[in-house]
A and B are shown apart, each in its own frame.
Chain A
């Protein structure tokens, strides 16, 4: 259970909780609740299904699926490290390289055995900035939530860096557009063309200007500013933040999705996160978890959730500019610096938080490595024999992370892959005497998941329901893989 929680507290997943709460408001609560419930589902499954594991864990196909899950989670975190470097105005490799060097250090067995101390140290380093922020703001989290939920609009503060000095947009690999709800003068700080989508009498037009340094463009309500390359922009103080919810009530109490689509999204997220957690336990649970280990792990999860909720509430209240261009996990790291400006302690606390995330990343990486080694049946001495494999995994994921990919989408892909391949085997068990059926179920789950993910990445449009299925491919792949296993079990009776 300790390993599962350490793997679960991987920064890309942990930061996904405050990101979802800020970006989606009420709907983000689903991610917050699942963040605690999903590992508990895995713990409960470990109790009831462990008899099926020892044989299954030594099959090649499920182990390959598990290696893919672990590799994708590492990729997500290294991509986050690259995003943080970009956010700080540095090239991506400046964030990725130190993380890979630290990971390589953990290939040394003596260092790897001390990883359990990294979890409490990392959590402490994360909680400290929140405690200072709460103290400095003179409002408790409940009062701050009430203030956010009752404000008529999310507006730029006069001292916001987006207003005083300008900030870069365009972290993401896909082009994005900023929607404006009221007249807003925007000043690009870099030379280059500025494209604006304008609706004129129901017709959509794209207007393009090339502005001299210092010139600005005025956008009207309904206009959209296209951001297809990295662009530094200055905004106006006291104007609505583009991309933010219409009001505090809209953020706290409503969902932008119709009921049917919302239900499919909730189901997709639940299946992905809970199935992914079960997949992370994988076949590495020869004994059931004890009450003490589950209780301790649960407390760690609750503390982490409390941290994520405070982080989100104070960000929505005091740094609404984080909504610009969509909430990114990397930008959240800067929160203490934004809240405590102009004090230099803000940046220092942001650094402490970053160190905490680094500690959690290292702990998660070793936990994932041990988890995979245990699944291979190498309990007790896994850390010397697989250094070559892990060196290769670090190198491949580090290279992949040079290309900016949203860390949360990689986390969903990793967990969805686990839910589509490993989780059905654990829930339904290996069909004894029919190893081909298990291989077939894992293979079909893998193929369906990867195929639907590829369609989603290629931008295939399929209506709102189809789009949700492409976002959460486990909704299709898991039931199909489970059905194959169920039929195999029935035929054996």
Chain B
């Protein structure tokens, strides 16, 4: 499995962990919003993009726009 896929899997697992965490960890309010909402709605998606970009191998020919 590539590093990118592993990273994306871990990001998904983070939200599951917040859903299942004891003492309502995911419901803790930070800046007025629940921790699970920050993670699932903002941090997780942004982190996913960063991880994917970081794990993409550099390509000598970066001009191919067909994908």
Task: Using CB atoms and an 8 Å cutoff, list the residues of chain A in contact with chain B.
Answer: 1-4, 26-27, 29-30, 32-37, 40-41, 43-48, 142-143, 145-146, 149, 252-253, 255, 259, 262-263, 266, 270, 285, 287-295, 298-299, 301-302, 305, 309, 379
Secondary structure type dominating chain B contacts: helix
The chain B residue sitting closest to A36, CB to CB, is B45
- The listed residue with most B CB atoms (<10 A of its CB), out of A48, A143, A305, is A48
B56 close to A294 (CB less than 8 A) = yes
- Please state if A40 and B59 are interface contacts (CB–CB under 8 Å): no
Q: Can you sample 14 A-B contacts with CB below 8 Å?
A: A30-B15, A30-B40, A37-B44, A37-B45, A40-B48, A43-B52, A48-B5, A146-B32, A252-B34, A266-B19, A290-B65, A295-B49, A298-B49, A298-B52
User: Hey, which chain B residues are within 8 Å of A149, CB to CB?
Assistant: 34
Evaluate contact between A1 and B67: CB separation under 8 angstroms: yes
When the two chains form the complex, which single residue of A2, A48, A259, A299 contacts B65, counting CB atoms closer than 8 Å?
Answer: A2
Instruction: Known A37-B44, A47-B4; judge A294-B53 contact (CB<8 A).
Output: yes
A442 to chain B, nearest CB (A): 22
Partner of A40, one of B32, B52, B64: B52
Instruction: Please name all residues of chain B whose beta carbon is closer than 8 Å to the beta carbon of A45 when the two chains form the complex.
Output: 5
Which residues of B1-55 are within 8 A (CB) of A? Answer: 2, 4-5, 8, 11-12, 15-16, 19-20, 24, 26-27, 29, 31-34, 36-37, 40-41, 44-46, 48-49, 52-53, 55
Q: Closest Cβ of chain B: how far from A93's Cβ, in Å? A: 37
Chain A binding surface SS class: helix
Partner of A44, one of B4, B20, B64, B65: B4
**Of all chain B residues, which has the CB nearest A288?**
B59
Check A41–B5 contact: CB distance below 8 A: yes
Which residues from chain B contact A33 at a C-beta distance below 8 Å?
A: 11-12, 15, 40-41, 44-45, 48
Known: A37-B45, A295-B49. 8 other contacts (CB 8 A): A32-B45, A44-B8, A142-B33, A253-B36, A288-B67, A289-B56, A294-B52, A299-B49
Contact A291 B56 (CB under 8 A): yes
Q: Which residues of A contact B11 (CB under 8 A)?
A: 33, 37
Neighbouring B residues of A290 by C-beta, 8 Å: 56, 59, 62, 64-65, 67
Contacts A33-B44, A37-B12, A43-B52 given; indicate if A287 touches B64 (C-beta within 8 A): yes
B25 CB → nearest A CB, Å: 11
Closest 4 CB pairs of A and B: A29-B40, A44-B4, A298-B49, A36-B45
Give the CA-CA distance A346 to B41 in the complex, in Å.
Answer: 27
Interface pair A32/B4, CB less than 8 Å apart: no
Chain A, residue nearest B52 (CB): A40
A270 → chain B closest CB, angstroms: 6
- Contact among A2, A263, A288 for B16, CB-based, below 8 A: A263
B19 touching A285 by the CB < 8 A rule? Answer: no
CB distance from A207 to the nearest CB of B (A): 40
Least CB distance from B48 to A in Å reads 5
Chain A contacts of B29 at CB under 8 A?
146
Q: How far is the CA of A2 from the CA of B12 in the complex (A)?
A: 23
Q: Which of A27, A40, A259, A379 has the most CB of B within 10 A?
A: A40
Chain A residues with Cβ under 8 A from B2's Cβ? 44, 47-48
| Contact call A41/B8, Cβ cutoff below 8 A | yes
Chain B proximity of A443: nearest CB distance (Å): 27
B40 to chain A, nearest CB (A): 3
Closest to B62 in A: A290
* Interchain CA distance A299-B16 in the complex, whole Å: 24
Residue pair B49, A266 in contact (C-beta under 8 Å): no
Chain A residues, CB < 8 A from B66:
287, 379
State the CA gap A6–B27 with chains docked (Å): 34
**A40 contact set on B, CB distance < 8 A:** 4, 8, 48-49, 52
Pick the contact of B32: A4, A36, A46, A142 (CB < 8 A). Answer: A142
In the complex, the answer to whether B26 meets A26 with C-beta atoms within 8 Å is yes
**By the criterion CB–CB under 8 Å, are B15 and A302 in contact?**
no
Contact: A3 with B67, CB < 8 Å?
yes
Q: Which residues of A contact B52 (CB under 8 A)?
A: 40, 43-44, 294, 298
Give every chain A residue within 8 A of B64 (Cβ-Cβ).
287, 290
8 Å CB contact of B49 from A3, A36, A285, A309: A36
